[in-house]
Structure 1
C-alpha cells in the first residue's frame, strides 16, 4: 500500500487556526519541503534493518532538520551535527535500540530572542517535522514536543496541539528560555496546564517533561526594568569559563534548572509531572545537600520527588563513574533510563564506550541493567506509547 504524503494544507490551516504566522519564517518553504521529503520512499528506505533482536529504549536523541542546522550551526560551541532518519535507524540497529524518543535539541525554538511571532512559528514547524518522522516510522520513533517559552500562553497552546493532535508523548523544555529558568513565576501557568491534563484511557495521570541543558545567558541593557518580551533588552552569554559550555556549563545548567523547579515549589505544586533529566542530573547531586539547606520546609518532599518523579538518563560519560553520585544520593536504579544523545554525542564522546560503561557496570546486576536499558522507560511511558 502506498504511503501517503503529509497534508501540507493542514499544516497551514492548523497554524492559521492557532494564530501562528508561519510566513514570518524566511526558511518556511525549505522546511516544508523537508517535511514532505520524509515520506519519499527513497528517503524512508523501505528495506529497514531487522530490529527483532533490539530491546533498548533510547530516551535522549535529537532529530536535526538540515534547515535547522543552517539556522543554528553551533551547538554548545561545537558544529551542529547532520542527521537523517536512515542514519539514525542504522545507529539504532547497531546499538540494539528498538525505539528512540526524539526531541529537538538546544536552542529549540529560541533562535529569535524577544520575537514572539517567530518563536511561536518555529516551535510549530519543529513539532510538525518531528510528527512526520514519527508518522513515517511509528515503530521506531516517538517525539517530545517543543514549546515557545518564555511566552507562556502560547506555550500552553502549542503543548495542547502537540499532545492532543500530533500525539507527542511529552514535552521538552530547556534549562533556561531566554534567561528564565523553569521555576520562574511567569511559567506557572504552563506547568499548571500540564499538571491538570486528563489521564489517557484511565492510565495513571502522568505528564513527562524532558529537561535539556542549553547555553546560559543573561539579559543586559536594563534587564531589571523590562519584561522578557520587550525588545529593549539584549541576551548575551553568561558562561564564565574560557571553554565551550558543552564541556561543563551544561551540567551546571542542569543543576540550576532542578534547583529552580524545587525552590519555586513547581515540583511540589504539580504532582502529576515527571521530569526526565539529562546527563545523569549533571552537577546537581554534588550541590543538592547544600542547596536544600536553604529550603528546610521543602527538603523531605523534594528528596522523595527526586527519587520517584525524576528520571535520569545515561547520555554522556555517565557510567560507570558519574552515576554513582545519584546512587549515593539514594536514587534507585528504577529511576535510571538509557540515552545516547544521538547524533550530538557522535564525535564528542565514544558512544560505544558510553553504552558499554552501562552494559559492563560491575555494581549493577543483569536485571538492573535491563531495567535501565528499557524496562524503566517502558514503565514511564506506559499508556502513552502503544507498544508499552
Structure 2
C-alpha cells in the first residue's frame, strides 16, 4: 500500500470524488499486492530497504544467492509460447533470469500454455536449497492486445468497451480473465492500462488510442475502471501492473516504433497522474514505466532513465513501494540509440527494479554491465539489493519461494 499522505498533495494533485472509492478496492487487492518490503525490511521514501538483515523467506533467499543470481532476478526475458526457442530459454537460464514474458500471439489455450510454463518453472533457479520460481507475465488487456487465446481463454473486449461497464461488472469479469491466466500458469499480467487519452486525440494517439487500449478519455472514468481491473485480478490471485507511468495518453508516436517520443503536456500535477495515484492507493503491486520523455517533468531524460520520475514522482510523492518494471528495453526504437548495457544500468540507477527485454540475446550484455557498475558504486549496489528484495518479496507473496 502507498504511504498515507494528507489531502494536501505535495504536487498539488486534487483527488476527485471517485478517488475514495478506490480505497475500498484495496481490500480485494491486498492479498496479491503485498509486494511491498516486509515489516522487517522497512522502506524509506526513496524505496531503499533500511534493514536487509531481516529473516523473511525473501530475506533468507537473498542471502543464499550469488551476485549473478541476484542480478538475474532483475531481468524479464521473452518466450514466444507459439514457438518457444530453446536456445533463448537456455540463455536466460544461464544468466539466472528470474522472470519470463510470454510474447507474440498464441491460440493454444490454457492447458498447452500451462504445460509450457511448468516446463519453464522446472528450470527455475535455486539458491542453497531455496527454490526461486519465475514470475510469468503476459499482455492480457483485451481487444487487439490479448496475447493468449484458444480453449479456456475468454475473448476479452477492448479496454474502451470495458470502460463503458459498471466497475462491479468489470471487477467480476477481470476475476474470470485472471482465473484463466492462473490456469495457464501466468502469475503476472502487464495490465491494466491507466493512461488517459483525451477524446480530442483519440486514435491519433499511436500507442494507446489507436488500439482502444484506454478505459476512457478522462481520469474520472479511467481510475475507477483501472482499479476494478486490479481488484478482479487480485481476487483470482494474479498480480497486475499499472502502465505506462506517467502516461502515454498525450503523445502521438509509439515508443516501440519511434525514437524521441516527447510528451509536452503532462506535468506532475496533471489529472492523468491521479489514475496511477488511485491504483497505487488501491494496492497495485507493479507499475510499468514509459520510455517517452516528459518535458514538463524531466526534459533531459526518458522516464525509464529518470530518477525524477521514478524515485521522485512515483516513489516519494505517490508512495509506491512495489516493483517498478520497464517497458521493453530490448527492441523498442525509443531506446535503441542507448547501448544495451547502459539501458539496464540507467533504468536501475533511476530507481527501476525489473528490466523487460523482448530480445533475450541482450541479457548477457545487460547483466554484465550491471555487475560491472556494482563493483564501481556502493550506491548502485545498494539500489540493486533493494530491487532484488522487492522482486523476491513479490515472489514470496505469489508463493514462488521455497524456504523449507
TM-score under structure 1 normalisation? Answer: 0.49
Q: TM-score, normalised by structure 2?
A: 0.47
